[in-house]
């Protein structure tokens, strides 16, 4: 722990690494060596997502393939590895849904001998896709009819696409989307990390559906494939995703309250009495 702190690692990185060691020790039947309170507390950061303006800016500079990726991730809420391994057999156009399934036969460089498995080993589905997105999927499927691999996002080698983050970063740079890691280097803006990240698109899926679409948290929990609703709640951002919408909602909150008329205050008499 002292070594990690001296290296400038954050409290979260420290907890994650110590936690990995403890999981390994428990797998070997050894007792825990960290007591409650030994690790520093991690400050929970504000949850954010993309605004409608940012999303429109990204779509405006994306080509056809980039636009499909950019729309697929926040409209389905799937993680990038799940999207990369998704095949057209997982897309049910007539039912307006996509399936998130394991691919035990996948032998791509990123998969082991057991193929691709879902996190927590629980397959699930994302139903009720909007009509516009279903039409986009149908058009894309028609153009991919000659695709031997049947993958939605395949690379030139016939394997699941592994460069999604680089594609998203390129879109973000062209759209002028900045992140907290963007810095100036040699007189120009650069980003040490990816300005557009897939997990933020996943939070966008949850937040937009909840705030704009009114989808309740238990339903979102199933769509996101979470094991508990507390995790889903951490995906709902308080970002102003549509200017003025929060103000409109707070005004609606108090429409049923009728305040009694306030008597006029005589400022002069108050001063004299004081």
pLDDT of 126 reads 95
Lowest mean pLDDT among 98-107, 133-142, 254-263: 254-263
User: Which has the closest alpha carbon to 86: 131, 134, 156, 141?
Assistant: 141
Question: Considering the domain boundaries, does residue 56 fall inside one?
Answer: yes
Give the span between the Cα atoms of 103 and 111, in whole angstroms: 10
Same domain, residue pair 31 and 57? no
The better pLDDT of the pair 19, 179 is held by 19
Same domain, residue pair 20 and 126? no
Q: Which two tokens mark 165?
A: 């983050």
- The count of domains in the chain is 2
Same domain, residue pair 169 and 121? yes
The better pLDDT of the pair 152, 5 is held by 152
Domain final residue pick, 164, 191, 218: 191
pLDDT at 273 over 90: no
Lowest mean pLDDT among 21-25, 87-91, 129-133: 21-25
Same domain, residue pair 139 and 29? no
User: Which has the closest alpha carbon to 82: 28, 134, 118, 58?
Assistant: 118
pLDDT of 190 reads 62
pLDDT of 78 reads 94
pLDDT at 267 over 60: no
Question: Each residue of 158-197: pLDDT tens digit?
Answer: 899 988 988 998 898 899 887 666 666 655 666 655 567 8
Question: Considering the domain boundaries, does residue 95 fall inside one?
Answer: yes
User: Which has the closest alpha carbon to 201: 218, 224, 181, 222?
Assistant: 224
Domain final residue pick, 152, 173, 191: 191
Q: Using 50, 70 and 90 to split pLDDT, how confident is the model at 35? A: confident
* This prediction's pTM: 0.78
Give the span between the Cα atoms of 253 and 255, in whole angstroms: 6
pLDDT at 274 over 60: no
Please state, in angstroms and as integers, the Cα–Cα distance from residue 46 to each residue in 51, 53, 225, 239, 261, following that order.
15, 20, 22, 9, 40
DSSP 189: E
pLDDT at 25 over 80: yes
Sheet holding 97-100, edge to edge: 91-92, 97-100, 124-126
Question: Considering the domain boundaries, does residue 24 fall inside one?
Answer: yes
Same domain, residue pair 67 and 185? yes
User: Which has the closest alpha carbon to 76: 95, 57, 96?
Assistant: 96
Same domain, residue pair 154 and 90? yes
Q: What is the CATH number of the domain that holds 101?
A: 1.10.443.10
Question: Each residue of 201-230: pLDDT tens digit?
Answer: 999 999 999 999 999 999 999 999 998 999
Same domain, residue pair 8 and 121? no
Cβ contacts of 171 within 8 Å, gap of 6 or more: 58, 61, 62, 66, 70, 177, 196
Same domain, residue pair 62 and 92? yes
Q: Using 50, 70 and 90 to split pLDDT, how confident is the model at 156? A: confident
Same domain, residue pair 184 and 56? yes
Give the span between the Cα atoms of 7 and 114, in whole angstroms: 36
User: Which has the closest alpha carbon to 215: 206, 202, 224?
Assistant: 206
Same domain, residue pair 3 and 82? no
Question: Considering the domain boundaries, does residue 123 fall inside one?
Answer: yes
b/e code 72-82 from CB counts within 10 Å (16+ = b): bbbbbbbbbbb
Question: Considering the domain boundaries, does residue 223 fall inside one?
Answer: no
Helix (H) / strand (E) containing 183: strand 182-185
The domain in which residue 168 lies consists of 52-191
Domain final residue pick, 136, 156, 191: 191
**DSSP state letters, 125-179:** EE----HHHHHHHHHHHHHTTT-SS-BSSB-TTSSBP--HHHHHHHHHHHHT---
pLDDT of 55 reads 94
Residues in the chain: 274
pLDDT of 243 reads 84
Question: Considering the domain boundaries, does residue 29 fall inside one?
Answer: yes
**Three-class SS of residue 108?**
coil
Same domain, residue pair 56 and 187? yes
Q: Which two tokens mark 12?
A: 């979260």
pLDDT at 270 over 60: no
Question: Each residue of 108-147: pLDDT tens digit?
Answer: 888 888 889 887 778 899 999 999 999 999 999 998 877 7
Question: Considering the domain boundaries, does residue 198 fall inside one?
Answer: no
Same domain, residue pair 89 and 175? yes
């Amino acid at each position: 722990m002292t070594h990690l702190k001296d290296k400038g690692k954050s409290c979260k990185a420290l907890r994650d690494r110590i936690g990995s060691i403890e999981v390994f020790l428990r797998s070997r039947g050894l007792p825990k060596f960290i007591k409650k309170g030994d690790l520093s507390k991690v400050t929970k950061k504000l949850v954010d997502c993309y605004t409608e303006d940012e999303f429109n800016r990204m779509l405006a500079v994306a080509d056809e393939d980039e636009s499909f990726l950019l729309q697929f991730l926040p409209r389905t809420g799937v993680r990038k590895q799940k999207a990369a391994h998704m095949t057209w057999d997982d897309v049910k156009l007539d039912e307006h849904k996509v399936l998130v399934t394991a691919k035990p036969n996948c032998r791509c460089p990123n998969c082991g001998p057991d193929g691709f498995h879902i996190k927590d080993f629980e397959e699930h589905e994302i139903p009720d896709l909007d009509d516009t997105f279903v039409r986009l999927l149908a058009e894309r499927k028609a153009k991919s009819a000659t695709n031997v691999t049947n993958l939605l996002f395949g690379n030139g080698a016939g394997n699941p696409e592994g460069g999604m983050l680089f594609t998203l970063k390129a879109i973000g740079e062209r759209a002028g989307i900045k992140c907290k890691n963007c810095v100036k280097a040699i007189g120009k803006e650069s980003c040490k990390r990816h300005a557009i990240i897939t997990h933020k698109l996943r939070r966008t899926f949850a937040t937009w559906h909840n705030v704009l679409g009114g989808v309740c948290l238990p339903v979102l929990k199933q769509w996101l494939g979470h094991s508990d609703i507390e995790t889903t709640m951490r995906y709902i951002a308080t970002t102003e995703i549509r200017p003025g919408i929060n103000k409109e909602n707070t005004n609606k909150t108090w429409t049923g309250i009728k305040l009694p008329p306030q008597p006029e205050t005589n400022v002069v008499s108050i001063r004299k009495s004081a």
